[in-house]
Amino acid sequence: MATPTLKQLRYFEAVARHGHFGHAAETCAISQPALSMQIKELEATLGAPLFERGPRHVRLTGFGEEVLARSRDILRAVDDLQEMARAAQDEVSGRMRLGVIPTVAPYLLPALMGRLMASYPGLDLRVRETVTPRLLQEMEAGALDAAIVALPISEPALAEVPLFTEEFVLVRPAAEAGAPVPRAETLREMRLLLLEEGHCFRDQALSFCAAPAARPRELLDGSSLSTLVQMVGAGMGVTLIPEMAVPVETRSADVSIAHFQTPRPQRTIGMIWRKTSPLACRFQRIADTVRDTAQALNLTTAENTAA
């Protein structure tokens, strides 16, 4: 009797995660016809369909949902075996899948990648940039080994290591450079431009302003900090950005930067990984390199502690 292969289970999990054969094929570095054939063979082996196939997306069948839970357990166990073997070598090498939130990735990664490659030449780093909820889903599914996010996450299964803190700064049109810096209660009444829903930085900005997340908005939200800053330069409102983004995002925009009065808004950036991972010590060494990079960027580094 034929049995499912690990390759088929990985392809199946990718399709279930993306809800799309094309996107899953791209993630798995395989052609879509080849991936579809593997899924059909898996369905034939199991004797039941795993997906309801539509013209634009696919959905799991009831049987597929049951198989997905078991498949993820199997894949996670296999990954743990591989990680145990790598941990036994006592060196930072091999593939590492690292997630990074979009409000950190463009500003930290250029400096971080150079340090990591110099310190760990055997490391095969694969970076995934997306919003926090998706990173957490992929961490749970075993598709990512670790992630750099804004803390706290407060997931019992994940270790959290603070790396650095940074302030939020106010971005205004250049003509307002000499104006008084508004207080939080005043800021929420202004035309405040924010990242679209799903970005944790949006929630942090709303929290500082004590503004309700669901209140009607006069303007469209932006998909990136760069878009927000350019909108400010065009006189469409004001926005908040993290301190590390200032050199990159303001160099080509007609804007001014202002720091808030105490208490200043800030966030803590940290690294997370599954507590059960046998590579925890290795991830801690990566976290130390991230902290060193943050210090070189003049960010306030956090204590080296894990939760």
Q: What is the pLDDT of residues 8-57, one digit of tens each?
A: 999 999 999 888 898 899 888 899 999 999 999 999 999 999 999 877 77
| Residue 200 forms part of a structural domain | yes
Give mean pLDDT, residues 275-296.
90
Structural domain that includes position 204: 167-265
Residues 177 and 228 in one domain: yes
Cβ(148)–Cβ(103) below 8 Å: no
- Range among 96-105, 187-196, 297-306 rated most confident: 96-105
The least confident of 33-42, 152-161, 282-291, 298-307 is: 298-307
pLDDT over threshold 60, residue 214: no
Note the pLDDT of residue 216: 45
User: Angle, nearest 10°, between helix axes 6-18 and 132-141?
Assistant: 160
Give mean pLDDT, residues 182-203.
84
Residues 295 and 150 in one domain: yes
Residues 145 and 177 in one domain: no
Give mean pLDDT, residues 206-217.
64
The span from the CA of 121 to the CA of 94, in Å, is 10
Per-residue pLDDT tens digits for 75-107: 888 887 776 666 655 567 788 899 999 999 999
Residues 273 and 158 in one domain: yes
Note the pLDDT of residue 227: 92
Residues 75 and 46 in one domain: yes
The span from the CA of 300 to the CA of 306, in Å, is 18
Residues 234 and 203 in one domain: yes
Stated pTM of the model? 0.72
Residues 50 and 69 in one domain: yes
| Residue 28 forms part of a structural domain | yes
Residues 256 and 175 in one domain: yes
Please give the structure tokens belonging to residue 30. Answer: 């395989």
pLDDT over threshold 80, residue 302: no
At 191, is the secondary structure helix, strand, or coil?
coil
Within 8 A by CB and 6+ apart from 84, the residues are: 278
Q: What is the CATH number of the domain that holds 132?
A: 3.40.190.10
Residues 157 and 279 in one domain: yes
The span from the CA of 205 to the CA of 298, in Å, is 22
**Residue 153 — pLDDT band, cuts 50, 70, 90?**
very high
Residues 156 and 277 in one domain: yes
Note the pLDDT of residue 7: 92
The span from the CA of 109 to the CA of 246, in Å, is 15
User: How many residues are given for the chain?
Assistant: 307
Residues 201 and 183 in one domain: yes
Cβ(165)–Cβ(184) below 8 Å: no
| Residue 185 forms part of a structural domain | yes
Last residue of a domain, one of 33, 51, 84: 84
Q: Taking the mean position of all CA atoms in its chain, how far away is CA 258?
A: 27
Residues 217 and 132 in one domain: no
Rg (CA), the chain: 22
**Residue 298 — pLDDT band, cuts 50, 70, 90?**
confident
Q: What is the DSSP string of 49-96?
A: --EEE-SS-EEE-HHHHHHHHHHHHHHHHHHHHHHHHHHHTTS--EEE
pLDDT over threshold 70, residue 305: no
Per-residue pLDDT tens digits for 241-281: 999 999 999 988 899 999 998 888 899 999 999 998 888 88
